Chain A
């Protein structure tokens, strides 16, 4: 038997990533803050609850239509905090730079970090910079950690979904992953595709102002909508039914997907959220979302069900149905 190695697919956000975390990392550290595996950890103290999260960012190419690695690093962490109902306040910023990297490019990335941090209303409170030898890293990696205060009276968790709840999605699927893919060597496409990379804290705030009984929010990043819904179905021990005709996908994303055999339900998003809400609040919340620039194309895409526990069922365009599984392995562009 050959020694087991880390594959790229272990980082794809799908089933292999889950197994890696569950089998190798979690068992060593299990504690009440970590265990729910929500997008941020909840830490309780006398004055209330703090949310804490961290994420590392690697993207090739570093600049893509609609953003760059710096913007991504702020938005990702701001969004993770927002998804458990926290108001993001402070971020740490840690850079791992490859020897030889252009200082001009670094400047551009730093100013993009500054810009989006302003927009999101967060402060970069601490940071670190390491330079590694040429070849030891690919240009630039960024890690950010973030903390925020959880709003009192709000309890968001992947464990809270209940049969009968409605599932809301804030906009088009797959824009980010496609915008990045369209810049890769060998797959170049021209078009108006831009990444949806955006800080969602303001949208979340508006939604929670309108309705404090939201049960769960998630941003469907790596692994896409299908993987995120499966995670919630598992954690809450419920089923879900999703209507294919309600899923917003841009024509151009659909086109590339058809061409390369990719499925938009598994593509990464960086500025979208899923909200699971009591059904009598759904219409009101949908209106709030549609009134916000980051939720203009929001849709109610399905329901939480008693049946099919731990499974997500898709009602297809032509009236059939199929099971929507988690992402397995990575998606490779294919010809057949």
Chain B
């Protein structure tokens, strides 16, 4: 496939690895913020072919993993209501809430449908005017504009029976908190390519300017990953700190202004709860006034008290403070069939990736 196969070339990969070996002189820790990077790095066995002194740590970039239990419990409570259809991306199906999961609720006969696009929720709502349809609006900045479009269309078409459970997250302010807390040494950031197609380069500028760390917006094919890592090493070795773009074929300085405008029309910045990181200012969205009526929080349902496994380290894993290997439950009690935390559920979750590939 064009734009994919060329970036999986073995010869060029070998050349890049040679370059990395030549350039790297000291031990460093890089954080791949995004779960898609984690999967691609493990999937191609990139950790194993890098020099040992380059350590990659996985960051909080999996929207499923960072969704707090309350959000999942709310979705579960809604699915138990009469005449409610839950529509969701497949990612959410297996995530454990406090005592159940959507997959288990589906087994109990609740109407839960996996869809691929927010617009399919609209279609389902139109086909079932007698039911309330709830879309689990989860995702980072890449997905938010697609949700905004669905909300705008719902309004346009005066649909009364479609609601959105808002669990969206914004990446840059979360990175700010990571840097401020300073619990792990991060010498450089591999920044998420697809989030950046929407938001562009500027929102990350503080990483270099205020914290003096280099960062590279990186694509997801193996050559992208290797080139991004090499660009970071070069900056580190030359004592530079800049936010560079490796993923030039899809990321522009200013991002995607059309998409940003859609987000802005529907949402405004708000604090948001992250698993493990707690309530962080500016890292979420809330509905602007005209759209508030579509907020699924308006449903009056009782949510069970939140329960998390006391020994699950997901929170620390998400911040790169702990590796899954340090969790007592890892592989013993916690595995993909019996996940104790969302990091084990999501294909992108750090614990799941370690389980599968390490």
Instruction: Classify A-B as touching or not with yes or no (CB < 8 A).
Output: yes
User: Does A318 touch B at the CB level, under 8 Å?
Assistant: yes
Check if B139 sits within 8 Å of A329, measured CB to CB.
no
A residues less than 8 Å from B108 (CB atoms): 5
- Contact flag A5-B42 (CB < 8 Å), given A187-B116, A319-B49, A328-B336: no
A103 at the interface (CB under 8 A from B): no
Distance between B9 CB and nearest chain A CB, rounded to angstroms? 8
B114-149 interface bits toward A, Cβ cutoff 8 Å, 1 = contact, 0 = none: 111000100000000000000000011001000000
- A9's closest neighbor in chain B, by CB? B103
Which of chain A's residues 197-235 have a Cβ closer than 8 Å to chain B? none
A252: nearest residue on chain B (CB-CB)? B1
Q: What's the minimum C-beta distance from A259 to chain B, rounded to whole angstroms?
A: 8
* Centre residue among B14, B90, B94, B107 by max chain A CB count within 10 A: B90
B91 close to A334 (CB less than 8 A): yes
A332:B337 contact, CB within 8 angstroms: no
B356–A335 contact, CB under 8 A?
A: no
- A322: which B residues are within 8 A, CB to CB? 42-45, 357
Say yes or no: is B358 at the interface (Cβ < 8 Å to chain A).
yes
Q: Are B337 and A16 in contact (CB under 8 A)?
A: yes
By a CB distance below 8 angstroms, the chain A residues around B36 are 336
Contact of A335 among B113, B143, B337 (CB under 8 A): B143
B62 at the interface (CB under 8 A from A): yes
Q: Give the residues in chain A near B91, CB-CB below 8 Å.
A: 332, 334-336
Instruction: Give complex CA distance A147, B103 in Å.
Output: 37
Q: Is A23 an interface residue (CB 8 A)?
A: no
Q: How far is the CA of A8 from the CA of B103 in the complex (A)?
A: 8
Q: Which residues of A contact B100 (CB under 8 A)?
A: 2
Whether B46 lies near A333 (C-beta < 8 A) is: no
Q: Which residues of B contact A284 (CB under 8 A)?
A: none
Q: Is the CB of A319 within 8 A of B357?
A: no
Closest residue of chain A to B140 (Cβ to Cβ) is: A336
- Say yes or no: A332 contacts B93, CB within 8 Å: yes
In the assembled complex, the CB of B201 is this many whole angstroms from the nearest CB of chain A, namely 21
Partner of B106, one of A8, A245, A255: A8
- Is A99's CB within 8 Å of the partner chain B? no
> Contact at B45–A320, with CB atoms within 8 Å?
yes
Query: Given that A261-B347, A317-B44, A328-B336 are contacting pairs, would A333 and B357 also be in contact in the complex, using a CB cutoff of 8 Å?
Result: no
Chain B residue, CB-CB nearest to A4: B104
Question: A117–B188 Cα gap in the complex (Å)?
Answer: 62
- Whether, in the assembled complex, B53 has its beta carbon less than 8 Å from a beta carbon of chain A, the answer is no
A316 at the interface (CB under 8 A from B): yes
B356 near A325 (CB under 8 angstroms)? yes
CA distance A138 to B7 in the complex (A): 44
- Complex CA–CA separation, A321 to B47 (angstroms): 9
Is A151 close to B, CB under 8 A?
no
Contacts of A24 in B (CB 8 A): none
- The answer on a CB contact under 8 Å between B115 and A316 is no
B44 contacts A320, CB within 8 Å?
yes
Does A254 touch B at the CB level, under 8 Å? yes
Pair A15/B113 contact, Cβ less than 8 Å: no
Residues in chain B near residue A329, CB distance under 8 A: 94, 336-337
Interfacial residues of chain A within 310-332, with CB under 8 A of chain B in the complex: 314, 316-323, 325, 328-329, 332
**Tally of chain B residues near chain A (CB < 8 A):** 53
Chain A residues near B120 (CB-CB < 8 A): 186
Chain B: which residue is nearest A255 at the CB level? B1
Are A2's CB and B46's CB within 8 A?
no
Q: How far is the CB of B332 from chain A (nearest CB, A)?
A: 16
A154–B13 CA distance with the chains assembled, in angstroms: 45
A318 x B10 contact (CB < 8 A):
yes
CB-CB under 8 A for A317 and B348, given A2-B100, A333-B116, A336-B62: no
A125-144 with Cβ < 8 A to chain B: none
Q: Is the CB of A318 within 8 A of B13?
A: yes
Q: Report the minimal beta-carbon distance from B111 to chain A, rounded to whole angstroms.
A: 14
| B9, B47, B91, B337: residue with the most chain A Cβ atoms closer than 10 Å | B337
Docked-complex contact B222 and A336, CB < 8 angstroms: no
CA distance A258 to B89 in the complex (A): 15
B10 touches A336 (CB 8 A): no
- The answer to whether B107 and A336 have CB atoms under 8 Å apart is no
Is A19 an interface residue when CB atoms closer than 8 A count as contact?
Answer: yes
Within 1-55 of B, Cβ neighbours of A (below 8 Å) are at: 1, 4, 8-10, 13-14, 35-36, 42-49
> Does B68 sit at the interface, judged by CB under 8 A?
no
Given A319-B13, A320-B45, A336-B348, are A260 and B222 also a contact pair (CB < 8 Å)? Answer: no
| Interface assignment of B99: CB less than 8 Å from any CB of chain A | yes
Answer yes or no: A26 CB below 8 A from chain B CBs.
Answer: no
A196 to chain B, nearest CB (A): 21
B128 to chain A minimum Cβ distance, whole angstroms, is 13
B64 at interface by CB-CB < 8 Å: yes
In the complex, whether A6 has a CB less than 8 A from a CB of chain B is yes
- Report whether A336 and B139 are in contact in the complex, using a CB–CB cutoff of 8 Å: yes
A6 — nearest CB in chain B belongs to which residue?
B107
| Cα(A318)–Cα(B35), bound, Å | 20
B116 contacts A19, C-beta separation under 8 Å: no
Interface contact B107-A334, CB-CB below 8 Å: no
Interface residue B214 (Cβ < 8 Å from any Cβ of A): no
Contact A319 B114 (CB under 8 A): no
Please judge, given known A-B contacts A2-B100, A332-B90, A336-B63, whether A323 and B357 are in contact too, CB under 8 Å: yes
A186 to B94 Cα, complex, angstroms:
20
The residues of B that contact A37 with a CB separation of less than 8 Å are none
- B259 to chain A: closest CB distance in Å? 15
Chain A residues contacting B99 (CB-CB under 8 Å) are 2
Q: How far is the CA of A9 from the CA of B43 in the complex (A)?
A: 23
- Give a binary string over A251-289; 1 marks a CB under 8 Å from any B CB, 0 the rest: 100110010110000000000000000000000000000
- Assuming the A-B contacts A5-B104, A317-B8, are A336 and B143 also in contact, with contact meaning beta carbons closer than 8 angstroms in the complex? yes
**A-B contacts, 16 listed (Cβ < 8 Å):** A5-B104, A5-B108, A8-B107, A15-B336, A15-B337, A186-B113, A316-B43, A316-B44, A317-B8, A318-B226, A328-B335, A329-B336, A329-B337, A336-B36, A336-B91, A336-B348
What 3 A-B pairs are tightest by C-beta distance, nearest first?
A320-B45, A332-B90, A328-B336
Known: A316-B222, A318-B49, A328-B335. 17 other contacts (CB 8 A): A15-B336, A186-B115, A245-B10, A261-B347, A314-B45, A318-B9, A318-B222, A319-B10, A320-B46, A322-B42, A322-B357, A328-B336, A328-B356, A332-B91, A334-B89, A335-B90, A336-B348
